[in-house]
C-alpha cells in the first residue's frame, strides 16, 4: 500500500476501488469446463446467444470436440482453452459451470483412475479457482450418486446405494466426493455453490459412438443393424432432452438454492419400450435383440423433481416422442443417412 506523503497534508490517500466496482457492466464472464462436450456445448450456445456474456471453455477434448463449438470460435466474446482440469487453471471469471468429466460408461471406464482424478482433483482445482476469484460454482453431479437405488423415485434426501469398489465406482464415488468438496468449500470458505444431479440426458451432438442407450439405439436403427437391448430389458431410465437440461442448469445457477437438485424428465421407460419407440419414430424397419448387460447396472431410475419445480419453477417440456426425432435428424446428417421415407 502506498504511504501518505508529506504533500498529502497528512491525510491518507483514498483506498482504491476494485475495477469491477467502477466499471458497471451487466456482462458476466463465465467459465464452462467440459464445454466442448454434449451438454456443455448446448450450454455454450444458450449463454452466447444471450449476448450479455463472455464465455470461456476449458476442455481436454477427451470425449468432446471442437466441432460442437465451432460456430463460436473467433467470436470476440468466446475463448477456447485446451486444458485438463486435473491441472490448476488461472482465469478471472464470475461463474463456473463445472461439467468436465466423461459421462458415458465406456469412456469413464476406459481409464478409471483418470476418471477419479478428473472428479476429485479436477473439482478441487475448479473450487480453488472459484474461491480465489469469488466466483459462483455449479457442479454437474449425477443421478448415479443414488447408485442402484433402494428408493423409487429418488428424492434429493436419499443417500444412495453405491458400490465403492465396482467398475462404475470411479464415476459414482468420484461425483460423490465432488459434491462433498463443493459443500465443504461452501461451509469452510463461504463459497457460493450449486449442485445439479443430472438424470440421463439425450439430444443432438451426442457422440455417435458414445455407448449410451439412446445414441446406440438411434445409430443402430439408422445404420440398419439390430438395436442391442441389454438384459433383462425391463430396467428403466428417464430421459431428458438437452434443451430442457440447459434451462434447468441456468435457472439453478441464477437462483438462490445450493441444491443438490434433481434435474431430469420423470417419464420412465423400460429399455424394451425405448427400442420400440425408436423403431416407431425413427426407423420402422428397425429390429432389436437381447444382449448381455454390464455389472452393477441400476434396475430403475426416475427423478423426483418436486424440488426443481418449486424452487426453480422448472420442469421438462420436451417429451421422448418429440425429442427422439430431433436427435435422429442430427444423427442422420452426421451419419450421411438419407431422410426417413414416409
Could you give the string, one character per residue 64-103, with x where binding to ligand UDP holds by CB under 6 A and - elsewhere?
------------------------xxx-------------
Residue 251 or 316 having the CB closest to ligand UDP: 316
Provide CB contacts within 8 A for 299, sequence distance 6+.
Answer: 148, 234, 235, 236
Burial of 94 (0-12, 13-18, 19+ CB in 10 A): middle
Can residue 198 be called a binding residue for ligand NAD (CB under 6 A)?
Answer: yes
Minimum CB distance to ligand NAD, residue 59 (Å) = 5
Binding mask 291-330 for ligand UDP (x = CB under 6 A): --x---x---------------------------------
Cα angle: 216, vertex 217, 219; to 5 degrees? 65
Q: Which CB sits closer to ligand UDP, 233 or 255?
A: 233
Residue 40 binding: pick among ligand NAD, ligand UDP, none (C-beta 5-8 Å cut-off by kind):
ligand NAD
122 belongs to the binding site for ligand NAD (CB under 6 A) = yes
| 135 to 29, 96, 194: CA distances (angstroms) | 10, 7, 11
Nearer to ligand NAD, 37 or 275 (CB): 37
- Is 200 a residue that touches ligand UDP (CB under 6 A)? yes
- From ligand UDP, ligand NAD, none, which one binds at residue 213 (CB under 5 to 8 Å depending on kind)? ligand UDP
For ligand NAD, which stretch binds (CB under 6 A), given 2-10, 33-41, 125-133, 283-291?
33-41
d(CA 170, CA 255): 30
Work out which of 29, 53, 63, 116 binds ligand NAD, going by CB under 6 A: 63
Contact 260, 142 (CB under 8 A): no
C-alpha closest to that of 149 among 262, 25, 7, 21? 262
Our finding on whether 38 is near ligand NAD (CB under 6 A) is yes
Is 97 a residue of the active site? no
DSSP 80: E
Helices (H), the chain: 19-22, 38-49, 105-108, 112-117, 123-133, 169-189, 213-223, 242-254, 271-281, 306-307, 320-335
Residues designated catalytic:
171
Amino acid at each position: 500500500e502506498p504511504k501518505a506523503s508529506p504533500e498529502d497534508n497528512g491525510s491518507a490517500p483514498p483506498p482504491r476501488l476494485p475495477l469491477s466496482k467502477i466499471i458497471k457492466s451487466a456482462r458476466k464472464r463465465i467459465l464452462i469446463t467440459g464445454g466442448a462436450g454434449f451438454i456443455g456445448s448446448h450450454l455454450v450456445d444458450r449463454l452466447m446467444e444471450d449476448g450479455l456474456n463472455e464465455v470461456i471453455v476449458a476442455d481436454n477434448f477427451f470425449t468432446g470436440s471442437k466441432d460442437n463449438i465451432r460456430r463460436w470460435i473467433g467470436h470476440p466474446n468466446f475463448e477456447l482453452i485446451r486444458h485438463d482440469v486435473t491441472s490448476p487453471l488461472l482465469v478471472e471469471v464470475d461463474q463456473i459451470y463445472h461439467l468436465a468429466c466423461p459421462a458415458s460408461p465406456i469412456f469413464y471406464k476406459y481409464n478409471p483412475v483418470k476418471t477419479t482424478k478428473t472428479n476429485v482433483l479436477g473439482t478441487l482445482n475448479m473450487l480453488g479457482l472459484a474461491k480465489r476469484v469469488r466466483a459462483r460454482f455449479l457442479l454437474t453431479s449425477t443421478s448415479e450418486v443414488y447408485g442402484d437405488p433402494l428408493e423409487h423415485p429418488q428424492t434429493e434426501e436419499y443417500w444412495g446405494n453405491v458400490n465403492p469398489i465396482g467398475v462404475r465406482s470411479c464415476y459414482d464415488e468420484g461425483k460423490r466426493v465432488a459434491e462433498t468438496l463443493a459443500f465443504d468449500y461452501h461451509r469452510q470458505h463461504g463459497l457460493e455453490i450449486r449442485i445439479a444431479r443430472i438424470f440421463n440426458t439425450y439430444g443432438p451432438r451426442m457422440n455417435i459412438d458414445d455407448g449410451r442407450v439412446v445414441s446406440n439405439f438411434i445409430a443402430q436403427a439408422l445404420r440398419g443393424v439390430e438395436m442391442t437391448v441389454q438384459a433383462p430389458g425391463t430396467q428403466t431410465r428417464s430421459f431428458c432432452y438437452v434443451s430442457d437440461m440447459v434451462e434447468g442448469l441456468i435457472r439453478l445457477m441464477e437462483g438462490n438454492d445450493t441444491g443438490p437438485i434433481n434435474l431430469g424428465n420423470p417419464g420412465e421407460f423400460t429399455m424394451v419400450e425405448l427400442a420400440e419407440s425408436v423403431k416407431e419414430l425413427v426407423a420402422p424397419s428397425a429390429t432389436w435383440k437381447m444382449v448381455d448387460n454390464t455389472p452393477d447396472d441400476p434396475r430403475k431410475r426416475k427423478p423426483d423433481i418436486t424440488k426443481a419445480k418449486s424452487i426453480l419453477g422448472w420442469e421438462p417440456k420436451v417429451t421422448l416422442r418429440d425429442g427422439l426425432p430431433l436427435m435422429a435428424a442430427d444423427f442422420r446428417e452426421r451419419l450421411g443417412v438419407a431422410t426417413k421415407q414416409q
